Amino acid sequence: MMNIFYRKNGIIEVSQSEAVFSSLKINDVVWIDLLTPTGAEKRAVEAFLGTEIQSRAQAEEIESSSRYFETDEAIFANTNFLTPGPDEYMMQAVSFTIVENSLTTLRDVPLRSFTELQRRLQVNPKRYPDGFTLFTTILDQRVDLDADMIEILSKEISQYAKRINQQEDINEDLLIDINQLQENTMIVRENVVDKQRLLSNLMKSPKFPDALDGRLNVILQDISSLINHTNFCFERLEYLQDTVVGLINLDQNKIMKVFTLVSVLLMPPTLIASFYGMNVTLPMTGTFWDWIIILGIMLLVFAAVLLVFRKKKML
């Protein structure tokens, strides 16, 4: 699908047909949004812009030279947008191409920030005079959404901390949940750092308007605070993980302590029973009351050992 936003008689019109390119100039087009485009749509946009649009494989490469580069005709930038799932976050690659004042975006999934910006562009076109402003707005919105995700992560971490403080369901499943939160935190941090690198490159670009430097600086400051917050979240998760491991180890130690104490308490009676189990002549044997006397000795030894453990505060 392709949405072409272009100016005509002072208003923004939208077309989904590549046939409209024949009556437009590049500066007339503010934004071309490609959502899982067909081959014909992509070729038509490339012919209109006079440059090649990056493929998904190129957009997903992690090298700095692939994430952002410029030519004499265009700016090419790639970044990842997070989409929350039921258990984990997914990174979706989005490719940006700016030729003159026209922005072209290529993506494979619907994104709420794009839909909202398209609506606002049609309602108030004067706020978005060119593709550079649209690009900056998209990045600003995505950083805000990343901040919302980090806030959600912080609330989840607080809930897990409360469960641990109340010692509710301290088990291996809780460790797995904390590990998943750690993974989500790392994904969010990686995503935010990727945008920080992109914005730093934009600020160095001679093609990017100086009038937008102030907005870029504000976004970079927001990103720096988000990175610090994700670092704090990750450190807190490590602390919670260590706490859970410690509590599980304490529970296991208590169980082992019980088994050890039971074994030690039963060792003297077991020794006496084994001694009288030998097939030899022994004292206090041969009468009816012998087994009662031997049982009494075993209980007496058991009580003595138990008393010693209690005095040593081992029970």
One domain, residues 52 and 73: yes
One domain, residues 10 and 116: yes
Q: What is the pLDDT of residue 270?
A: 79
CA dist., res. 193 & res. 271, Å (int): 68
Tokens of residue 172, six digits = 């291996």
Q: What is the largest CA-CA distance in the chain?
A: 121
Tokens of residue 120, six digits = 């606002």
Domain count, the chain: 2
Per-residue pLDDT of the chain (315 residues; tens, 9 = 90+): 899 998 888 788 888 888 888 888 888 899 999 998 888 998 999 899 888 887 766 666 656 556 788 888 889 988 888 887 766 778 888 899 999 889 999 988 888 888 889 998 888 888 888 899 999 999 999 899 889 888 988 998 888 888 888 877 777 888 888 888 888 888 889 889 889 988 888 888 888 888 898 999 999 999 999 999 999 998 999 888 888 888 888 888 888 877 887 787 778 777 777 776 766 566 666 666 777 777 787 788 888 877 877 777 766
CA dist., res. 188 & res. 153, Å (int): 10
- Could you tell me the CATH number of the domain that includes residue 292? 1.20.58
One domain, residues 183 and 306: no
| Helix, strand or coil, per DSSP, at residue 29 | strand
SS3 labels along 205-221 = CCCCCHHHHHHHHHHHH
Closest to 53 (Cα-Cα) out of 42, 41, 69, 39: 42
CA dist., res. 27 & res. 6, Å (int): 9
CA dist., res. 14 & res. 31, Å (int): 10
One domain, residues 75 and 161: yes
Q: What is the pLDDT of residue 138?
A: 92
Q: What is the pLDDT of residue 88?
A: 73
Q: What is the pLDDT of residue 89?
A: 79
Q: How many CB atoms lie within 10 A of CB 242?
A: 10
Q: What is the pLDDT of residue 215?
A: 92
Helix (H) or strand (E) holding 84: strand 74-84
One domain, residues 228 and 270: no
What does pTM read for this prediction?
A: 0.76
Q: What is the pLDDT of residue 137?
A: 92
One domain, residues 6 and 106: yes
CA dist., res. 181 & res. 289, Å (int): 68
One domain, residues 216 and 151: yes
Q: What is the pLDDT of residue 285?
A: 63
One domain, residues 86 and 146: yes
One domain, residues 172 and 56: yes
Phi first, then psi, for residue 204 (nearest 5°) are -90, -10
One domain, residues 287 and 164: no
Q: What is the pLDDT of residue 218?
A: 93
Q: What is the pLDDT of residue 63?
A: 61
Residue 297 belongs to what domain range?
249-311
